[in-house]
């Protein structure tokens, strides 16, 4: 019989080895740093799962190139956007996690005391780029300075199915929200309803802010502390929503997540949605014939003009980060014209630059379906307007207060009661200020 010559360690050897390893690990942990051979700077960046995945691919490519040039590693982690607030909260609470992250909405205000001031890098990048759009700048400027740097914004145009509109006898898409209501009633009868989410998703609020501002309604007064939702203007907005829900939409809008309206227009059933250009990009990427029928137009307006609340994404660096300077260098690198241009191209026009010089990119002019998108910047405000962005605004969005107010009303609650309910919820959201350490 042939025996295999396996070297079985003795108990003594095993104990010696494990004790050595444990001691090594203990010294590593006690010193708080890895042994010399394992030391290579690693910058970690938490972002969202981009709605155009190629954009994340390009971001990782640039991160890798930056890492090679600076003898470090840049790790880009991405996750679903709706899960980000809780992940960020956990990192803020534990004072550990990524070095930098993609902030959204009023995060710089929510975590003002936990993010580093970025005035130096903002000034440097801003000068090179011809200045920031005011709505993007306002969302990052806190009382204690720039707590994030605007990264990109996402236009929120009307997206419509040209074939359905043509069949219904409409020459052009709606220019106002009232016109959308009129056209929607006809389109629904034709079997092609319109769709605006009235549910727990961020698109529901993006549209609500837009509709309310166009009607002249507010959520907060300019002081940022006084709820301003109970008004005749808001009542008109709610009545408009009720009419639209009953006569131009299907009840499914009450259950949509952020991808609901995308699926709705891509299924061929829907005729109009208020959404970024991701459905069109998805149709192109998947070679769906419906891409030929989909087109975009500027967000509708109302008696108070055209207004929009585009999602506005920035980058913030945690105070607990050990790589603050490296993070700043990485940000400057991302804003280099050739890099930002490549990133816009990868997103197929989804990512809009917050800097005026970078906005002059041929991608929007090349495709007539994108031509009007940069104009959206003219109508944009940070959420909360006329109040300045604040952590209260963030909480109003996080708790889906306006979406619920409208949902209550379309489900039969009297308009006045729905407004009173929202007023109470907004008062609660305004209560409790973060204490700057």
Distance between CA 273 and CA 264 in Å, rounded? 8
Chain position carrying tokens 């930002």: 340
Shortest distance in whole angstroms from residue 390 CB to other proteins: 12
**Would you say 306 or 406 has its CB closer to other proteins?**
406
Strands (E), 232-376: 272-274, 294-297, 301-302, 305-306, 312-317
Chain Cα centroid distance, residue 225: 24
Shortest distance in whole angstroms from residue 96 CB to other proteins: 12
Shortest distance in whole angstroms from residue 114 CB to other proteins: 5
Phi/psi at 296 (5° precision): -125, 155
Q: Please tell me what DSSP assigns to residue 220.
A: B
**Would you say 246 or 411 has its CB closer to other proteins?**
411
**Would you say 260 or 311 has its CB closer to other proteins?**
260
- φ/ψ region of 287 (left if φ > 0, alpha if ψ in -120 to 50, else beta) reads left
Contact 317, 118 (CB under 8 A): yes
Shortest distance in whole angstroms from residue 229 CB to other proteins: 15
Cα radius of gyration (the chain)? 25
Shortest distance in whole angstroms from residue 112 CB to other proteins: 10
Shortest distance in whole angstroms from residue 328 CB to other proteins: 21
**Would you say 134 or 399 has its CB closer to other proteins?**
399
**Would you say 274 or 395 has its CB closer to other proteins?**
395
**Would you say 41 or 431 has its CB closer to other proteins?**
431
- Give the angle 58-122-75 at the CA atoms, nearest 5°: 35
Q: At what angle do helices 401-410 and 202-215 cross, to 10 degrees?
A: 80
Distance between CA 179 and CA 55 in Å, rounded? 35
Q: Please tell me what DSSP assigns to residue 153.
A: E
Shortest distance in whole angstroms from residue 242 CB to other proteins: 14
Shortest distance in whole angstroms from residue 298 CB to other proteins: 27
Instruction: Note the residues at the interface with other proteins (CB under 8 A).
Output: 82, 85-86, 89-90, 92-93, 95, 110-111, 113-114, 199-201, 250-257, 260, 263-264, 267, 269, 391, 394-395, 398-400, 404, 407-408, 411, 421, 424-425, 428-429, 432, 434-435, 437
**Would you say 19 or 90 has its CB closer to other proteins?**
90
Residues ≥6 apart with Cβ < 8 Å to 23:
none
Strands (E), 267-376: 272-274, 294-297, 301-302, 305-306, 312-317
**Would you say 226 or 411 has its CB closer to other proteins?**
411
């Amino acid at each position: 019989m042939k025996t295999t010559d396996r070297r079985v360690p003795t108990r003594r050897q095993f104990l010696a080895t494990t004790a050595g390893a444990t001691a090594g690990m203990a010294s590593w942990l006690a010193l708080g740093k890895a042994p010399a051979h394992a030391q290579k700077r690693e910058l970690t960046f938490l972002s969202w799962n981009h709605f155009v995945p190629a954009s994340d691919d390009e971001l990782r490519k640039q991160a890798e190139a930056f890492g090679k040039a600076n003898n470090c590693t840049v790790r880009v982690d991405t996750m679903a956007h709706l899960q980000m607030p809780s992940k960020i909260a956990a990192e803020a609470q534990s004072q550990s996690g990524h070095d930098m992250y993609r902030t959204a909405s009023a995060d710089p205000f929510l975590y003002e005391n936990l993010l580093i001031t970025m005035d130096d890098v903002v000034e440097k990048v801003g000068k090179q780029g011809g200045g920031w759009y005011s709505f993007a700048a306002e969302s990052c400027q806190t009382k204690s300075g720039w707590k994030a740097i605007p990264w990109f914004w996402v236009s929120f145009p009307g997206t419509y199915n040209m074939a359905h509109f043509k069949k219904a006898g409409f020459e052009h898409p709606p220019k106002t929200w009232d016109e959308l209501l009129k056209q929607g009633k006809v389109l629904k009868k034709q079997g092609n309803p319109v769709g605006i989410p009235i549910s727990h998703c961020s698109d529901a609020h993006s549209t609500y802010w837009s509709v309310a501002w166009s009607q002249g309604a507010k959520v907060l007064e300019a002081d940022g502390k006084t709820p301003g939702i109970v008004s005749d203007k808001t009542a008109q907005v709610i009545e408009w929503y009720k009419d639209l829900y009953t006569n131009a939409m299907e009840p499914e809008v009450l259950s949509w997540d952020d991808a609901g309206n995308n699926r709705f227009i891509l299924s061929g059933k829907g005729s109009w949605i208020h959404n970024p250009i991701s459905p069109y990009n998805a149709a192109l990427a998947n070679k769906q014939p419906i891409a030929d029928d989909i087109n975009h137009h500027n967000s509708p307006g109302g008696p108070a003009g055209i207004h929009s609340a585009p999602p506005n994404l920035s980058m913030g660096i945690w105070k607990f980060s050990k790589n603050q300077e490296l993070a700043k260098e990485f940000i400057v690198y991302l804003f280099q014209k050739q890099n930002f241009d490549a990133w816009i191209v990868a997103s197929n026009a989804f990512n809009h630059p917050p800097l005026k010089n970078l906005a002059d990119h041929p991608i929007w002019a090349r495709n007539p379906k994108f031509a009007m998108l940069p104009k959206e910047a003219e109508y944009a405000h940070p959420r909360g307007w006329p109040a300045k962005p604040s952590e209260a605004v963030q909480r109003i969005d996080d708790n889906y207060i306006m979406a619920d107010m409208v949902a209550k009303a379309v489900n039969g609650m009297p308009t006045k009661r729905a407004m009173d309910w929202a007023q109470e919820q907004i008062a609660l959201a305004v209560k409790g200020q973060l204490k700057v350490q």
